[in-house]
Structure formats: C-alpha cells, structure tokens
Chains A and B, each alone.
Chain A
C-alpha cells in the first residue's frame, strides 16, 4: 500500500441527471462536470458530459427528463475538496440562440447509498437594465467564464445572480474506500 504511493480511498459515483423543472423553457440540454480539490483525481469514467436535448413532458408536471447517466470514480487522499457536481443547463431563446438557463452545483453525497438531490439553478444577471435588454435582444446573456466557478467561493462577492427554478439530479453512490 505504502510502496505504491500514497494510500487512497475511492469514491465511485454512478447516477443520473434525472429531470428538471424549468417551467418557462423547453428543449433544454444539460452539461455536467466535476470540481474537486487538489488531492482528488479521477480514475475512471467520464468527468464531463453533455446530455441530449429534451422536451417538456406533456402532462401536468411538465418535467424535462434527461435520465442522463453519470459514472465516475475518484481517488483521493484527503476529504478536503470533496467533489462537487456542477450542472449547467442550456437551451434556445426566442431567437434560437443557445443561452444558458441555469447553473448549479452540489457536493457529491458523503455517505454510500441512494441519494436524490434537488439543485436550485441560477443564472448571472446583467449588471444593468440596458444590458439586460441588449443581452436578451442579441442573445448574448451573461455567462460564467467557466461553469466551474459556481462551485467556488472565490471572487463571487460582486455577483448578482437570479435564482431560477429547481432541478433534480438523482445520484446513486455506491461508495467504497480502500
């Protein structure tokens, strides 16, 4: 154990981004990625993924169902920097431009078992009304330079974000540790 490098524990995650509730929008797709600390390294599985475009269900719930699978394994030596899954949802606006509809992040569950997480999503808001209008008009909404910043605390002070609707991602985490 010690000879082959530092002893690590493994975090195996598999689950799926189940569905979302974005009552105003349709035809959305979502992107996921992970943010983790320096002591973490992915060992298997996909770190990032883009889902298919889904349409609203026709029933009352109006859910956007992706059922997009996630399967990734991390190894780490330190619980500090526990991985967070960052979800960003995109979809077309009135003019057909692809704009961001929501960012959200949540820590991966700490305990093994089946977990269901509902992540509130938000988008950054324009700094002024005029910019809001032009960005709407030109289809260039404010976006994060990197969706991963939603999982970080640094430099978020001046930010003005509009909280959006809810979205559920279900993660099942068989957890193992060496």
Chain B
C-alpha cells in the first residue's frame, strides 16, 4: 500500500461519514487496524504477489510519467480529440497511481473478499453512487492478468481512459464487492464509452484494436448483467456492512484472510527471471529520451514562448552544450515535479552567460623558490626604437613605407573676399544663380515630370478602355486608382518644379538688373560678367492650345477627385443620417413610453437618466463648384507657368564685358584695385597636423581667382589621419594671415592618380575685415541701398579645386598602405577579418580597442572612415545589438548610418547621479546625523567644534538642535529680557545680524592661506642684514653678556587649555587716595569751607598736620594692594604702604579660550576684560577686651575699593604687550578717602602732574607664549576688501594706494588711513566721514556762554555712547566704519565712530578739528580728536570724554600717524610722532604730507554723513523704570553674592545717596565730594561709611553687574554691616543713558 492509495481511502471514509450516520467508528477502527496489519503480511503473499507488489511500492508514480514522457504525442492526440471535459487533477493523479499490477492484485482481493462475503453471508446494499471514490473504481477493471507487455500497456491506457470517463460521468456505479468479471472483459463504462464516444484513430494500437473491440463487445453483455446484479447483492448485505466503505471492508477481509499466513511463511527460493528483472529495472530506472522536447511541454499551458532577444533585451551567449545533452537534461527535468521552473520564458533551460574568459586574467604565478641570483642577472634587451604612433604606422613587416599621396592643387576661387566691391558681390551671386540654373536646366526635372504626367494620363485612358485590357475589371480599377493618385503626386511635384524654375529665372534677371543699375550708378564696371537673355519664339496658337488643354485636363482631374471625395462624404453622411434617424425614432418611442410610464409611475420619472447626448443631425456635404475650381487652377498656372505666347527666356552668362580701366575709375575704386593687386595667396599642406609643403605665393587676380596648378607628392609613412590645406593671405610686405582651413577627404584606396576627379572644396573664414576703400570687407554689414537698409553680412569664403589620390608606382602598383594597416587604424573590415569574427563569435581586438574609447570621439581621432562597411559587417556577422560589449560599436554604427549623432538639446552634468542616490533626498534630509555633519561643515558657530558626531541617528539627542533651531527662530524676534531697554535690544539684534553677514562674507577668506601661513622661510636678506650677520659671525663670543632674545611667537592653532597665560606685572602706582579719619568731626567745617577755586591749588600743607594728628598710632595713610581679575580668576599682590606704593610683582593668570577654540578668529572675539583693582587693606582691631592685648592680636581685615583699570583682552592680544602708566579710574566720590598730594614733595614732578588730576598705575601686561596676533589676517582681509565693490572713483583709489605706499615707505610704523570699509562692506574715502553735524540742542543750551564747557559737555555725551570694539563684534575681521547716524542708532561703536562723531560736533561748534590716527595706550592704534583752541591744541579722547593739552605727559596718545580733516589727509612726516614733540601746523608741507595737493586737487567729495542728525528725546518714564529695575537687580545680585550672610539695606542711606546722584550727574562728578560727605555725616553720623559712586554709559546690564562685582563691596562680612545702593539714570537725547550706581557699606560705630 502506498500513501496515495491510503489517501484515497481516507477520502472515501470521509464520504462515508458525511453521508451515512455516524456511529460506525468502531467498525472503521477495526478495519483500519486490519489494514495496517495487512501491510506487513503483504510481502509474504507468494512470489507472484511479490513481483507485483514490490515495484509498486518503490516507484509508483513512474509508469504514468514515463508514459507521458515517452509518448507524449500519442497521449495528447488521444486525449484531445475525445474532447473529454477537464478532469480534476486530484482524481487524475489518483488514477495515475494505479498500475496495472495493482489492479490485478486488487482484483484478486476482490475475488477473495467476494468469497469471504458470501461465506459471511453479508448482504451488500446498493450505495449512493456519487459517494463512490475513485479508489473503488479500481475494482471495475476486470481485465485479467494478460500476459505480454504490449497488452498490459494498452490495457493500462484503456483503463485510465475508462476511469476518467467513469469519473466524470458518474453515471455508472458499482459496488466494490462485485463478482469478479472474467479477465479480458471491459468494464461497463468502457463498453458504454465505446458506443457513445467518438474514438480517434489510434495508430499505435492498431493491433490491439480488434481485441479491444472484441472485449468491448463482451463487456457490454456483461454490463447488462451487472446492472442487475447490485440490487441482488444489496439484499444480502447486512446493515452494518453498509456503512463501511467498500475498500475498507475489503481490506478488513483481506487482513483476516491473511492472518494465518502472517505467522508461517513457506516459500520457494527467490528467482527472478531476466524478463521480470528487466521489467523491474525498467520501472526502477529512468532513461531520459534524447529527443527534443517540444516547447509547449516546457512552458505552462497556453503560454506562448517569449523570446527576450526579440524584445531587445540582452541575454548573452549561452555556454556551449551539445544539443543531445540539452535534450536529455530537459527530459530529465520534466519528469521531476517542479521541473518546469528550470525553463525560462523562451522554453529553454535557464542559463547564465558563458562565464569563461577567453584569456587568463590572473598573472602567471611565479615560482617561489626562484633563486634570487636569477633576479639579479642582467638581461640583455635589444634597444627598441621608440615608435611614436605605432598604431598608425606602416609596420616594419610590410613593404617599406614608400607610399605616396598625390595632392593636386589647381586653384582657388573666392566667392567672397574683403576686397570685393559691391559689383563683385552681385557678380558672385549672379554666377552662383547661373550655375544653379544650369544645373537645373541640365536635369530639367519639370520636363521629366510633365512627360511622366502625360504618360500616366495615357495609361489611365487606356486603362478605362476595357477592350484593350485583358485583365479583370477590378484589377484594372485598382491600377487606375493607383495611377490617379500618382498623377496627383506628379502634378504637385511638377507644379513645384515649374514654380522654382520660374523663380530662379526671375531672380537671375533681378540680380542682373541690380548689377546693371549699380554699374550705371558707379559709372564703371569691375567685372566682365554679362547676362544675355535669349528669347525663343514659340508658336502662339499651339502654345495656347496646349496651355488650355493642360488646364482643362487638370480641372477634369480635380473634378473627378472632388467627385470621389464628395461621394465618400455623401456616403458617410448617409450613414450618419441613418443613424440619426434611427436614434430619433428611438427617442420618440422612448418618449412615448416614458409618457406612459410617467402616467403610471409618475414618481419614477425623476430618477431616469438621459442616456446620451442627442446626435447632431448630419449636414450633407457641399457639391464642388466647377467655376471656383477652374479659377483656382488658372491662378496657379499663371503663377508657376509660362503664359501662353510668352517667349521662352534662356539666360546666358558670358564674360564678354569689359572692365573699366583704372584711369576712369574713382579714387576709392582705384585704391581697391591696388589693394587687390598687393594681395597674394598661398596654401600650406598640412598632413597629420604637420606642415609638409606649401604652394608658391600667387597674386590675387582681379577676378579673385588664384591659379596654382601644383602637384605635391607626399611620401608618407604614417597612415593619413587628416589632410588640411591652410589658406594664407599676404598683404603687401606685411605679415600673412590665416584665412581659412580646408579639410580634404582622404581618398579611397581605389582612387589613384589619373583617375581622381578635380573636386571643389568650399571653405570660409570668420575673420572680420573692414577696408577704407570700395571693398565691402568681410563680416561687416553693408548695403546696396542708398539709405543703408537691407544690410548684408558676408564672410570670406571660397573654393579650392584640388584632387587627392594615391600615386602609382613604377610598376603600376598603387602606393597604398596595405589593408591590414587600415584595420588597425579602424578603417574598414576586410573579408578575412569578418570571417575571423564570425568564426569566433566575438569582436576582433581592434574593435575592442575601439570600445575603450568613446565611440563618437574615436570617429574624429582614429580615421574610422568606412563606417558603412563596418555596419555591413556588423549586420553580416550577426552581432548581438543588445550585448553591452557591443554597445559602443552599435552606437557608432547607428550614428554613422543615420548620418548624425543624436545630440540632446540639454546638458546634464552628472548623468549618473540618479544611479548613485542610495536614499531619497527627503530621507537624507531627515537624517539627524547628516544634518549635524552638514552644519559642522558649514561652520555654523554652534557646531563648528562639535567633536565625535555619533555614528547612529538614534544617538543624537534632539536637544542638540534645539538651541540652534531656537536661535534660527528667534533671529528676528527681539528678546528684551537681557536688555531691559527695548531699543537697545533691537540694536543688539541688528548688530548681531550685521555681524553674521560680515562673518559669512569672510568665511571663504578665512580658508585662504598664504604661503607664509604654512611655510616658515627666512626673508630675503638685504645687504645690511647680511653684512650684520656676517659681522656677527666674526664677533667674539662673550658668554657672560646676556643678549635680548625675541620671544618665539606661537600660531594659535595647536594650543589647548592652560597653554596660554596672561602675565600682569604691576610695578608701581602714584597718588593713591589716602584714608581720612571719619570719626573726627572737627575737620568737617574746614573742608567744607574750602572754595572750588582752591581745588587746583590744593594746599598740602594744611592737610599734613591733620593727618599726623589723625593717626597717633603711627598707622600708615593707606595700605594698597592690587587685585587682578580675569575670567573670574583672581590674583593679588602683596600689600604695600603709602600713597605711592611700589609692588613690582608679576601675576600670572591662566587664559581659557571660549569653547576650547584657539583659532585666531576665536581669540580675537574674546570679550573678557582684565580688571586691575586697587584696594586698601584696612586692619581693624576686633578685640573687645583690652586686657588681652598683651597676649594676642585680633584684627579684621577689610578691603576698600579705591579704583580700577580695565583692559580688554583683545587689546592685549593685538598689542602683544601693554606697557605704560595708566590713569586709575577712581570714582568721583570715595568716602573716607582723599587725595594725598602733599606728603612727597618733588617739585618738578608735581608741577607736571598737577595738570591732570588722578592716580596712576604703571603696568606691564603680556601673554605667555606670545600669540601671533591677527595682523596677518587683517592684511589678508584688506586684499579681500579691495575686491568689495567701491563707489569711489578709480583714480582716487589708485591715488590712495599710491599715497599709502609712499607713506609706508617712509614711516612704516605710522598709521596712515585713506580708505575705510563702511558697514555695507564698501570702500569709502575717509574724508567723507567728516562733516559738521549738529550736537543735541539740549547740550548747547547747557551753558551757552562757555564754549569750553559746551565742548566738554559734547565730549561727555559722545563718551556716554557705549564702546564696542569692531574687532570684538566682527571677530577681528576688519574695521568697519559706520556713519554718525548709524552709530547713534546702533549706540555702539569703537574709537573711530566716537572720534568721528566728536569731530563732527566740534566742527559744527565752529572749532578747527581733526581726526588723529595714531596709537595710544592701552588701545593701540586708535582715533583721537585734535582741536585747535586760540593758542594751543587739545587732544580729546572720544571714548572717555577727557581732553589733554598737547604737552600733557599723561596723555594716552603716544604717537600721531596722520590727521584727517573734512577735505584732506595729512601724513606726519616729522621725525617724531609723539604729540609732545610735533608741530600740528598742517599748513607746513615739510612737516605734513597732504593727500590732496596741487598735483591732485580736492575733487569735492560728498559726505556719507546725513545732512542733519535728528535727536529724539529719551523717554524719561522709561529711564526711570529702567533705573528701578537695575537697582532691584543689583540688589538681588549683591544678596546672591553673599550667600552666607544676611544683607541688610539701609534705607536712610539709600535715599540720601539717591538724592545725591543727580547732583553728581549735573556736576559731572566733580567738586561735590565735600558737600556730600558733610551731608552724609549729618544724616548717618554714627556709621562708619565706605562707598563710592560708579559711573558708566549704559549698554546692557551685564557690565554694570560686573563692575559692581569687581569693586568687592559685597565681600565685607562684618556681622552688623548694612548696605546702601542707589541707581540713577540720566537720559540724554537719542537714548544715550548715563548710569550712576552708588554702592556703600555702613558699619555702625560703637
């Protein structure tokens, strides 16, 4: 039993279950068990059974497959015609499984079971037929075990047929326990089918047929019997058995039957006869057929084979496999179950292209154990001559290269030449037209077409006469129709030709007329050209008749045509009309119906849709109008044809005319002729881009023809690639010019000397020539009309008549390079090579070589001249056009055959971009990592130094972008939180934007490096340095003499945190305020009684005794120390004593660049300041008990802030070192301290000092290591800046450069400024910035009588505008100058802006004022303002508002480079540049070099400044509000800074201070100290009080906080300390705010 069978059985079971009642389980089970049991005993069922069983178990499916495989044709033929309905596959396979043998066995079983059943007295019952499973039908076959294979086979087939029939018909049903039918009898179905079906002839079974028929005949009888049998049997069967499926029952019985045999097996020794064995083998083994498998078997049903090759896809070469092998394989595959998937769409086995390369690609493996000596051995190689172009060379193997190309240059004709006169132009045109006429005349197409028309008409005529034709009528009609259509075509062509002829004639006549009129007009002739029109008389009458006949014929033809057309149209119309009518009828009927319907169901009417639009009623076509047509025809004829009777005109061009001699010509014409005479022409012969020879120089004839008549014999060695003639023209004795190049075709190999025709090759040149005589020139417009209209532009052009041919040798052999040579040169393919190609099936190497190069370009370079042959070869050798290997070749051929290459009208830069896009753009943009990388490479500040960008998107935090996005969003939103004042916030935003745009502008420049940035190289030494160094070499070495060494400068690129230190050397201070006894009230009156006038003449003598009285304990006046804070790092010196302390200490402060970025630009933008604070250290005795004084000292140290010096880091960075004495910024009121000016009496010093009040400190600040400042960057920038556009005059700019260069040559270190960059990046001449501008009216009204006071007030106003260095705001990129109104709007700027504004104010006040460009401490290069008072000069510091006399020692301005006035620049050419030592009289040219002088007058440059400054009054309320807010914030800050202590605020004191501050503002911080002190003492007598007011311009909050912090007021930690803080803001116009902060600490005295 095989599984299939079992399955079938199971199916049967299911049927049973479904149909019959359940409850038969037990029965079934037993049967199943029995069946299982039975499986074992089977083999023991005797030899015969063994034989039948064994193969069956082994390979059951085989027989059928074999069947279908080996004889598929027969199968199908039989099946098809019988037209059996499709059989369900499951059942079919079920059938298929049963072999003959099995059936025999089953029959045996059936017989047995039959016997059993009779024994058991079982009564079979008729079962519903449709339940019968296919399995049961096995029993229906009653053929006995017929011996002989043939019989078996046929039976098998019959059987399967019968079964299938049974299956589908379902008509004949049997019970399985049917009495066995005698062998050889067909089943009932077979019998039935035999009679009912239409059997097709079965050629193979012709022998068996009678047998089968016999059998059928018998079975019929049987069947009858059978039909009756079942009911009988049914009676016998019991009810139980009824439920069991037939097979099961049988199996059950079978099992029982063999129960005994299971235990005892007695059998004879096995013997298999050869026959049986063979049979077995046959079933076991499968021998695939060698026959070709038909395609349809390999494909799914009803599928046509699909050949990809035909569809244009490349499939490659299949590996070579013999046909028989393929067949075997295919057959084998087909027998396997999923075998079909091995077949492609084309029904062939799927195969990859042949992977085997024709030659090895791996280099030969060298043997390892090669002796190294062998490698060292010298090999002798013969010297090989270097061959330049081997591929185009005539190989050495061939006959030596005495090939020869003969080039015959006969002459040259210009069709246009610059020296052509107008007449020549016309003559050339006429000649050209005449040539055309001649050519046309020769061809005489019109005549030909007319004749053809005539012939066609005759043919039609004859065709219409049926007697003359022997053909059938319809063919005649057909030919006539063809003729007619041809007539139409021909007529059209003829008309066109005739019209062209006529036009040409007309043009010739027109040109000739023009020429004649020109000759008349100019009164001379230049050309001998003469046109004669010969009239040929015609017979008028005949002509007219012919004309009329022609027209009539045409009309009739046309009419006919139209009739036909009309007919067709009518037909169409009729059809359409019919349709329309039908529709109309239908519509009417419908309407009627609808009406009824509406009557019946009125509600339904609404929903009914109107099915279609009404067809339009067709309009019958118009019949043609004969008259109209005749009119048309006549009109056309008149246009294109000679009118009847008109004489035939034949133009004849002759050179018979005479040329006017020179004497009678006007001057210009004579000039022209002379010019022509002077010209001569020669040609150069260029072969393979090398000049090989040239013709003689021949003069240009008056007719512009040059005759050479020279033959050049080129002995060639290389294959000719190009052959060019260059036309050179010589004019007089001047040089030659190349007129044009003429490219000659390289002759075919068949063209040899003697046979070569003379060819004319046209050339033209694009040179432009204008002549001053009659010659029309070339490339120049000229006109024949008097008014210059109708302009013509002609280019020099002409024709070279030449012939090129291969020479013939002495023995008549043409001297042509051999063909093999040409192959290499991609020339053409010889038959031999194409044979080679076909044989190989692959492309010959030369084509492979071709493939490597771009196909198109190889045309031009490699002399691929015979493409047609190549194409032919490709077609002949059946190259696969789809093979990518052949693609270039195919392209080449297609290009060559189509005659033009396909040039797309667009250009794509990266054609393959699409192919390389591995993700879509959106996806790429969504990637966070990509975005991060992009932002970093764009150097967005937030990401510029982002390190270690994570490798995965998921690792990138969203917050990385948040700040950036926020910033992007907020760029335009003004943030008022940090700025308090909305205006300033706006300004800050604007400044930010300007900064960004400038930075963007310089981003590229930043990446530009100079050589000096990369390479350290010694400068070119001049002779002095060289001499000095030479001298140094000779110098004695003195080791004990130290020599100063310059510090090494470090570029800021490889630095890290902690590498840079700021060194501050505090040397000494002068005039520090000294303490004043606070407790002693007795002094107060004396102080307050002092008058202001006494102030300057301070009386030291009065004070000295009091001081000594105040400190009886011998306490010093002041114990100052210096604290330096930078980036919140604080260092301080030791405490010195006295008002003029000397520390001489070096403090070291580490520097940290922002974000760890030590690049130059980053360092330049460091905004930090170095605060140098001077404190007084006060010791207080805290001892409560005097008794302990002996045993210990308890003191508390307090420090009182005295003043500070603030130096921006950027200054240190740019200056590299700062060395000098600085004025200490001491608050105007310093409670508890006073200036000690008497104790040290040094007269000389004192007298100088008395001019400027204040304390001073001497400092030296530098950085370690020294950084290379941004100087180089600046210089580089200036180059870049030059490229920025400027609106200045070019001359002026040149002058500035010259001026600067001259100045720099003389005094390289003096600052000279002529042009500056304005805020939009344009270069502006500096004097344009200076112009009198009105200061605020408010300031002028302040003290109208005192001009000096007004000036000070104005200076103070200017100094109140916050200072913001450009280097900080623009990252050291450049110095931008804003105009005064921009400056006032921005409310921020550096020295230049302050100085410009101040200077402008002074100018408006009527002062003589200049801008001083120079250097000062600590600013470095800066701008000051110089004013001239009555007798002396004053130097104003615009940023602080202070002014100094010219001879003030403490003037911070240390050198003067140039002065700038509103209309000139003066450069200091004096020996010294210190303001103390120079003369400011700019009128002296020896001292001052002026920019505008007599040589260069001042051009009156307009100013960039506005006409007038408009000042808005500042909102007082806003200022008050701001004041309150600042106060609140500062108080909070102070409390924050004292986290461990309670901060008490003294309200009395605060209010007192608040009242005092406006006073300070009014007096500008002077002369109020004593009053104030007295007042305070009055109010807060019992407090020890220390405090001071701070004053600064307001820009933003942070500097205020920073300033308060730096005073260290909050550091007092006495338990009962109280604080007072008052803020006052004084508003000036234009939002300039002056801020006063009064901070004080109070300690109640005990």
Contact = CB atoms under 8 A, between A and B. Distances in A.
A129 B1029 CA distance: 19
Contact of B1029 (A9, A138, A144, A158): A138
B621 to A, nearest CB: 79
B952 A156 contact: no
Nearest to B952: A7
B1014 interface: yes
Contacts of B1016: 142-145
Contacts of A124: 1014-1015, 1017
A77 B951 contact: yes
A144 B1014 contact: yes
A152 B1029 CA distance: 36
Contact of B1017 (A8, A77, A126): A126
A148 B936 CA distance: 21
B1018 A6 contact: no
Given A38-B947, A41-B948, A144-B1015, A154 B1020 contact: no
Given A2-B954, A38-B946, A41-B948, A155 B1017 contact: no
B1026 interface: yes
B1051 A145 contact: yes
B1015 A145 contact: yes
B1013 interface: yes
B1015 A159 contact: yes
B1054 interface: yes
B949 interface: yes
A129 to B, nearest CB: 11
A39 B1020 contact: no
B910 to A, nearest CB: 21
Interface in B933-959: 933, 936, 945-952, 954-955
A94 interface: no
Interface in A1-48: 2, 5-9, 38-41
Interface string A64-87: 000000000000111010000000
B1011 A127 contact: yes
B1038 interface: no
Interface string A98-133: 000000000000000000000000001011101100
A7 B1014 contact: no
B144 to A, nearest CB: 79
Contact of B1013 (A77, A134, A145): A145
Contact of A155 (B949, B950, B1009, B1051): B1009
A131 B951 contact: no
B943 to A, nearest CB: 10
A135 to B, nearest CB: 6
Given A145-B1013, A145-B1051, A78 B1018 contact: no
Nearest to B936: A38
B1545 to A, nearest CB: 48
Nearest to A127: B1017
A9 B948 CA distance: 11
Contact of A158 (B955, B1011, B1020): B1011
B1021 A134 contact: yes
A134 B1018 contact: yes
Interface in A129-177: 130-131, 134-135, 138, 140, 142-146, 148-149, 154-156, 158-159
B1043 interface: no
Consensus secondary structure, chain B interface? loop
Contacts of A134: 1018, 1020-1021, 1026
A48 B329 CA distance: 68
Contact of B1008 (A76, A128, A155): A155
Contact of B1014 (A9, A78, A145): A145
Residue among A40, A148, A155 facing the most chain B CB atoms (10 A cut-off): A155
Contact of A38 (B945, B1026, B1054): B945
Interface string B987-1030: 00000000000000000000111110111111011000010010
Contacts of B947: 38-39, 41
B1093 interface: no
A1 to B, nearest CB: 9
B1015 A138 contact: no
A40 B1007 CA distance: 22
Contacts of B936: 38
A126 B1007 CA distance: 23
Interface in B506-536: none
Contacts of B1011: 127, 158-159
Contacts of B1009: 154-156
B1053 interface: yes
Nearest to A3: B955
A142 B1053 CA distance: 19
A7 B1018 contact: no
B1268 to A, nearest CB: 10
Contacts of B1013: 145, 155
Contacts of A128: 1020
B1262 to A, nearest CB: 22
A77 B949 contact: yes
B1054 A77 contact: no
A131 B955 contact: no
A130 B1015 contact: no
Nearest to A161: B1015
Contacts of A131: 1017-1018, 1020
Contacts of A78: 933, 949, 951
A39 B950 CA distance: 8
Contacts of B1021: 134
A41 B946 CA distance: 12
B949 to A, nearest CB: 5
Given A6-B955, A8-B948, A140 B1018 contact: yes
A142 B951 contact: no
A126 B1011 CA distance: 11
A146 B1053 contact: yes
Contacts of B1026: 134
A76 B1014 CA distance: 28
A38 B1053 CA distance: 14
Contacts of B1029: 138
A156 B955 contact: no
Interface in B1019-1067: 1020-1021, 1026, 1029, 1051, 1053-1054
A2 B1007 contact: no
A7 B951 contact: yes
A164 B947 CA distance: 36
A135 B950 contact: no
Nearest to B1268: A145
Nearest to A1: B955
Given A38-B947, A39-B947, A142 B1017 contact: yes
A130 B1020 contact: yes
A154 B1007 contact: yes
A8 B1020 contact: no
Contact of A8 (B945, B946, B951, B1015): B951
Contacts of A149: 1014
A99 to B, nearest CB: 12
- Most chain B beta-carbon contacts within 10 A, residue among A6, A40, A76: A6
A126 B1029 CA distance: 20
A155 B1014 contact: yes
A94 B384 CA distance: 44
Contact of A138 (B949, B1018, B1051): B1018
Given A146-B1053, A159-B1011, A135 B1017 contact: yes
Contact of B955 (A2, A76, A80, A154): A2
Given A134-B1021, A144-B1016, A145-B1015, A7 B1054 contact: no
14 contacts: A2-B952, A6-B948, A6-B949, A39-B947, A39-B948, A77-B950, A78-B933, A130-B1020, A143-B1017, A144-B1014, A144-B1015, A149-B1014, A154-B1007, A158-B1011
6 closest A-B pairs by CB: A155-B1009, A6-B950, A142-B1017, A77-B951, A140-B1018, A6-B955
Given A38-B947, A143-B1016, A155-B1014, 9 more contacts: A2-B955, A6-B951, A6-B952, A38-B945, A38-B949, A41-B948, A76-B948, A78-B933, A149-B1014
